[in-house]
Amino acid sequence: MTSSTPFAAATLAGALILAPPVASARDYDAGTLHIGDPWIRATPNAAPTAAGYLTVTNHGKTADRLLGGASPLARAIEPHTMSMTGGVMRMRLAEGGSEIAPGATLALAPGGDHLMLIGPKRPFKPGERVPATLRFARAGAVKVEFVVRTGPRPGEMSMPGIGAH
């Protein structure tokens, strides 16, 4: 052991103490649906929208649909799709919602399909929690909290030039 080891350990301990806490999302169950890791990307001031991400696994024998939702901190929550047309990425409302087939997982992630929070009432800052109620065709209303993060976690895809989506 060298004389710098205690200093390095003390420095690391100090950095961990001073580091901001990392909020983590929790998972939710609604009947045969399992909702995992709901999160929202942090937004700048006056952002007209925010993007929400999560997974929904259907453990049942009947398909369900994520229709959208509501939050006291946004005007509306809508499911949106992303597609590539002629080399141009396009985003649009998922008419009729997003299907979750029996035994399948719907993954809403950066650079792909997502939930669009329309008209946030204020900026969302990292570490905050945003309450919401998701609406499913069969499972009904499910209360969740989205954790606000600065961007995708390691290994998740992010599309440059897509803004907060």
pLDDT tens profile 19-41? 444 455 689 999 999 999 999 99
Residue with tokens 């396009």: 90
Q: Is the dihedral of CA 130, 47, 72, 132 positive or negative?
A: negative
Domains of the chain are 30-149 (2.60.40.1890)
Cα torsion 39, 134, 138, 101 to 10°: value is -20
What pLDDT digit, counting tens, does each position of 120-129 carry?
Answer: 999 999 999 9
pTM: 0.77
State the amino acid at position 84 in one-letter form: M
